[in-house]
A and B are shown apart, each in its own frame.
Chain A
């Protein structure tokens, strides 16, 4: 096998990328309107909320933990954005309110996992319920509508023909990837996730590293909430319900190992875009709505199976 191909295949996101390209080629020939620039941009725009959060959860997964509270967290942050936007207007204050709420929730997750030493799947499962309960209790079931258009800027506007959500996603991808590769914290995440005990012997603070990963999820969920509110124009009490499984699916389908230590930000976004393209393609191909979920499941299974194929090709040990 040529060295270049091998290097490419060694990248964690390689199987998902190859699968994405193949799928795009198939759709280009079969689905009318798929290559329409507006549709291509829509494919990305719709997964921006999913993708931004997946960037954060990706770091948590790399550090060997998991966060399944993000569905409810997005809902709570969106209410913060919506409520502040409704009363104060503007963009900055609502955005800060969303990020602040996310940071508090993320810190609670992080503190319970690192100081409380509770497995992260339990902490975030508990928070999934608790945060949704808080939304229902605080709002009393009221939805937020009529959000002023300046608060919705992050979801609606476009710059030089590219919509703002897509720009935000690309910028955040670059930023998180740079931090992940070049900062001490970023490298610690890989080390802690790869082998926590060894990392501790090497003098790394596993607790602090993981805590910050959970806080990052909060920050990114806050930003995602502002985009969500911008695009949807309203907030319901069930906002974000079920998103947690989609986010985890995006991260692992993209190629980040669920056991930690292996993966990349590009993988998380690849996974998110792949899910977006599948959903878009199903509608464009007029697949009856009842069968769409089955097709999505089958394609996810196919995508992750390519990872097994890649390992066979490289005769790599299972991760």
Chain B
């Protein structure tokens, strides 16, 4: 029982002090910041909405749109998701959404099938179910809010690249993880478009950037060094595109190697300004979040149409692609002319 009297108090002090420092450090931005639920006050219906992950600009933008719609409609909105894009964590959160008494659950799925059992459980609990941004298995949700068809995106990307490279050449595609379902579906459409319309264009290689900016830069640099006759690079995630553009700029290949892809305007403005990227593609994630909440609300009220068009607040009438699929619209193509009109 020999407590060394000299050292013990010091130890006791060290930990709480350090703990306090940590809390103080983040206190500024508000630990007390209210979580995203319990707004609207009326407490009429509660919509629980899950992005693939939280803490990235793209899904922050859709949150903005979702909150706007929730306020308009006077519904409670819970917008939360895992901090890493993992399907298993989403499964867990869906089950907790069910416990929380949500009337509607709508998710952007990291894996279409992995989320299916949990979503079916929500259906069994008489909760309206939906997907947005990235679909779950069709039998595990009632409706999918599609931002743009895979075909529209894939074709637009290839057409833009063809314009800049004269419709021929070998291309590198930088993706997220190799298992990302949306990216793989776009890639399939891209290859189809090349085979159909531009027989001289080929995807020579696919490299994963793992949603890591530096890794995206490194794999692009390596590849372009080993294959200097590459005509262009597609960056098909919001991180892969600025990474690919940065690599091309650092190698001094701008103008020689064309770059395009899918990403958010704020993160690529500098490359548009520098002329590394001429055009790139996306949809408006704010509108997507806005539409997803309108759809979920219509589901709760039983007013979802089966065909024709769906009336979504300020977006006006949007098209029903199928009885269980709403389409936001054609993709947005960002250029030097319009990029300053968007802020996300």
Physical contact A–B (CB less than 8 Å):
yes
Binding site for B on A (CB under 8 A): 31-33, 36, 38-39, 42, 46, 49, 104, 108, 111-112, 115-117, 130, 132-134, 136-143, 145-146, 156, 228, 231-234, 236-239, 241, 279-280, 283-284, 286, 289-290
**For the complex, what is the distance from the CA of A127 to the CA of B269, rounded to whole Å?**
34
| CB-defined contacts of B29 to chain A, threshold 8 Å | 137-138, 140
Q: Which of A42, A130, A141 contacts B221 (CB 8 A)?
A: A42
11 additional A-B pairs beyond A130-B22, A136-B54, A236-B239, beta carbons within 8 Å, are A39-B225, A42-B222, A111-B18, A115-B10, A133-B26, A134-B22, A142-B57, A232-B243, A234-B242, A238-B211, A283-B226
Q: Which of B14, B31, B54 contacts A116 (CB 8 A)?
A: B14
Closest 4 CB pairs of A and B: A115-B14, A141-B55, A283-B222, A136-B55
For the complex, is B56 an interface residue (Cβ under 8 Å from A)? yes
Q: Which of B14, B31, B206, B222 contacts A112 (CB 8 A)?
A: B14
Contact A232 B213 (CB under 8 A): yes
Closest B residue to A285 by beta carbon equals B226
For the complex, is B212 an interface residue (Cβ under 8 Å from A)? yes
Q: Which of B15, B54, B211, B217 contacts A141 (CB 8 A)?
A: B54
| CB-defined contacts of B212 to chain A, threshold 8 Å | 236, 238-239, 241
| CB-defined contacts of A38 to chain B, threshold 8 Å | 225
**For the complex, what is the distance from the CA of A138 to the CA of B30, rounded to whole Å?**
9
Q: Which of B11, B178, B267 contacts A290 (CB 8 A)?
A: B178
**For the complex, what is the distance from the CA of A71 to the CA of B57, rounded to whole Å?**
21
Q: Which of B14, B21, B31, B222 contacts A280 (CB 8 A)?
A: B222
Contact string, B221-260, partner A, CB cutoff 8 A, digits 1/0? 1110110000000000001001100100010000000000
Max chain B C-beta neighbours (<10 A), residue from A134, A139, A143: A143
Q: Which of B18, B57, B214 contacts A232 (CB 8 A)?
A: B214
Distance in angstroms from B96 CB to nearest chain A CB is 19
Contact B242 A145 (CB under 8 A): yes
Closest A residue to B205 by beta carbon equals A286
Q: Which of B11, B18, B226, B270 contacts A32 (CB 8 A)?
A: B226
Contact A111 B223 (CB under 8 A): no
Distance in angstroms from B19 CB to nearest chain A CB is 10
| CB-defined contacts of B242 to chain A, threshold 8 Å | 145, 233-234
Contact B222 A284 (CB under 8 A): yes
Closest B residue to A47 by beta carbon equals B218
| CB-defined contacts of B214 to chain A, threshold 8 Å | 49, 228, 231-232, 239
Contact B60 A140 (CB under 8 A): yes
Contact A156 B22 (CB under 8 A): no
Distance in angstroms from A134 CB to nearest chain B CB is 5
| CB-defined contacts of B68 to chain A, threshold 8 Å | none
| CB-defined contacts of A31 to chain B, threshold 8 Å | 226
Contact B213 A236 (CB under 8 A): yes
Closest A residue to B208 by beta carbon equals A289
Distance in angstroms from A195 CB to nearest chain B CB is 21
Q: Which of A39, A141, A289 contacts B59 (CB 8 A)?
A: A141
| CB-defined contacts of B178 to chain A, threshold 8 Å | 289-290
Closest A residue to B216 by beta carbon equals A232
Distance in angstroms from A68 CB to nearest chain B CB is 17
**For the complex, what is the distance from the CA of A228 to the CA of B214, rounded to whole Å?**
8
| CB-defined contacts of A140 to chain B, threshold 8 Å | 29, 55, 60
A-B contact pairs, 29 of them (CB 8 A): A38-B225, A39-B225, A42-B221, A42-B222, A42-B225, A108-B18, A111-B14, A112-B15, A115-B11, A116-B11, A116-B15, A134-B25, A136-B55, A137-B31, A141-B60, A145-B266, A146-B270, A233-B246, A234-B213, A234-B242, A234-B246, A236-B56, A236-B211, A238-B212, A239-B213, A239-B214, A279-B218, A283-B222, A283-B226
Interface residues of B in 11-67 (CB under 8 A from A): 11, 14-15, 18, 21-22, 25-26, 28-29, 31, 54-57, 59-60
